[in-house]
Amino acid sequence: MIAKSKKNNSGIIGILDLQGGVYEHLDHLQRLGIAARKVKRPPDFKNLAGLIIPGGESSCISRLLNIFEIKAPLLTAFGRGMKIWGTCAGAILLAKHVVGEDSCLGLIDIKIERNSFGSQLNSFKSEAMIPRVSAKPVPLTFIRAPKILTAGKDVEVLLKVDDYIAAAESASVLVTVFHPELTGSPAFHRYFAVKCGLNPAVNTKIYTDQEWNPCSWTRLARNF
């Protein structure tokens, strides 16, 4: 079992603002009462309790990390205790082993394969029980998702589906091959906040996908 982090006084989670569902993650964190900010420049890493790397295209994000000169500051912040959560492409960037290509950050001992379900047309939704994360079924959205094929001895599997791992964590890193930010459930964002040593709101409404407004994040574009 991965130990919970000690309380972190900075209380801020950053979202890497290079590609992907940045505002969707901000929206979920705001619902939990967690302070959050976009991260795009080296100074933005200062005093972060955690960092979310959204989905997108992993090779593109990898290049942008170098173009914006933030790969080194990211690794430095991680070395100082910042936790990281990668969703979909973010999980690929964090993996130590990537089938057919070099790893980017290599911060969690997993082997992952890109686009394992096929094309965009093979994207799908489902749900699963993940006891460590929620007492209720968690909705899952897979978009050109990768598959985690194996996990090292210091990695705990949170969700396995058929022959692949869909969610896993080490002491400092969380990875999901699906997109929790594209559902009405804040369960994974709450779980990550606790992993970062924060105290998310406990009475946050959990929406079904039918109740949730998937465009609720658009109000944030004017404020961040």
Distance CA 220, CA 164 (A): 35
CB 94 within 8 A of CB 86: yes
Extract the tokens encoding 137.
Answer: 């079924």
CB 156 within 8 A of CB 195: no
CB 199 within 8 A of CB 4: no
Please pick, among 24, 25, 28, 88, the residue that the annotation labels catalytic.
Answer: 88
Extract the tokens encoding 103.
Answer: 């790893």
Residue 114 amino acid letter: R
Please pick, among 25, 179, 189, 196, the residue that the annotation labels catalytic.
Answer: 179
Which DSSP helix (H) or strand (E) runs through 150?
strand 147-151
Please pick, among 25, 28, 169, 181, the residue that the annotation labels catalytic.
Answer: 181
Distance CA 143, CA 155 (A): 24
| Residue 179 bears catalytic tag | yes
Chain position carrying tokens 């790969």: 71
Which DSSP helix (H) or strand (E) runs through 194?
helix 187-195
* Active site residues per annotation: 88, 179, 181
